[in-house]
Structure 1
């Protein structure tokens, strides 16, 4: 048993040294373009986790929600009630397209959301901007993908992080991003007749 513990300690010390050597080469710090996509649940949830990390670090941040409408959510209520000084929150959609059934209005709302997003991203005091469900707006053609990519390349301040969520992220966006996570659907209670619930979905 003692020999096993000593072997383990040697193995872990070797791993720690290798890890320290790798970490010493990671010196760059810059704002990232981050994409959360895929059919699985958790894209917005993970992005809001980063927003709350920014808040905990006293870093100014902002949220612009595309597509999503006026339904009350826990994250919006919490931020509005307690962290509005650190996090600007803009819900610019009126609901999913099958709810609104008005493409012209959806496109106008998406365009307004993008104008708000650009203003927030340009502000060098804001360290992270979450563009929630913008991938859906891009997929439906409510926003021009080339314009979004050009703006991020040319006008995003060097220390600002921008997070873009939603299914079916465009390949060009995935290529341009620094960090991409695809949520994979393995199992979902909705398929078993369970509705969206507070604390899980909103």
Structure 2
């Protein structure tokens, strides 16, 4: 590792624009997309802001670690799906759940009562064709200007990347699955 000196002068100009709601995309094949979105949800909630989390692939009865904590903290989190496609018994039902869930999420975006709305794992129903992209883009464009939105999942469509204010691609460098280590509660859930 090469040691470097810490910066002593600001090397970026100060922003001059107005504060507004942002569209933030966390994508890529690396771990941490949902975790980063949940971190933003916690940060906003810690500031007394209204937050709503929708998870497009989790079942409504899910009790993963984030559900337990968010419930304790009073952050509403809602599973909209029936699990990942390889767990689904009926992909038509999975698609219908995604569309129904999108309508709930869209209504929340348009209502403007939440500072931050997380659309976790929404890239999957978009990629599978369960949700058309155009209405999602339209809802993001027409939401009230103070509403921030975070969208997560692998392979974000270019149109969404173009619309977003901030896009972070999580890159896979190394993963314990590659060494045969299975998922572990408290790390993957």
TM-score by length of 2: 0.91
What is the CA-CA distance between 1:116 and the residue it aligns to?
1.0
Conserved? CA contact 1:64–1:116, under 8 Å: no
How many Å apart are 1:71 and its aligned residue? Answer: 3.9
Aligned to 1:42: 32
Correspondence for 1:63: 53
SS in 2 for 1:52: helix
Q: Between Structure 1 and Structure 2, whose CA radius of gyration is higher?
A: 1
Structure 2: how far apart are the matches of 1:56 and 1:176?
A: 28
Q: Equivalent residue for 1:3?
A: none
Tell me how far apart the structure 1 counterparts of residues 119 and 135 of structure 2 sit (CA, whole Å). 15
In 1, Cα distance between the equivalents of 2:163 and 2:118? 17
Corresponding residue for 2:135? 147
1:81 corresponds to 2:72: yes
**Where do 5+ consecutive residues of structure 2 fail to align?**
none
Distance, in Å, in 1 between the alignment partners of 2:174 and 2:28 is: 13
Give 1:193 deviation, angstroms.
Answer: 1.3
C-alpha separation in 2, matches of 1:130 and 1:34: 9
Corresponding residue for residue 158 of structure 2 = 171
Compute the displacement of 1:114 (Å). 0.3
Kindly indicate whether residue 113 of structure 2 is the aligned counterpart of residue 122 of structure 1.
Answer: no
TM-score by length of 1: 0.86
Report deviation, 1:31. 0.3
Which residue matches 1:91?
A: 79
Q: Structure 1 residue 164: deviation in Å?
A: 0.5
**Preserved contact between residue 63 and residue 90 of structure 1 (Cα < 8 Å):** yes
Give the RMSD, CA atoms, in angstroms.
Answer: 1.7
CA distance in structure 2 between the aligned counterparts of 1:82 and 1:161, rounded to whole angstroms: 20
Give 1:148 shift: 0.8
State the shift of 1:27 in Å: 3.6
Q: How many residues align?
A: 184
Conserved? CA contact 2:119–2:149, under 8 Å: yes
Name 2:19's counterpart in structure 1: 29
1:107-161 residue CA offsets vs partner (Å, 9 max, x unmatched): 111011101101211222200000000011100001000111112112x110101
Cα separation, 1, equivalents of 2:118 and 2:62? 18
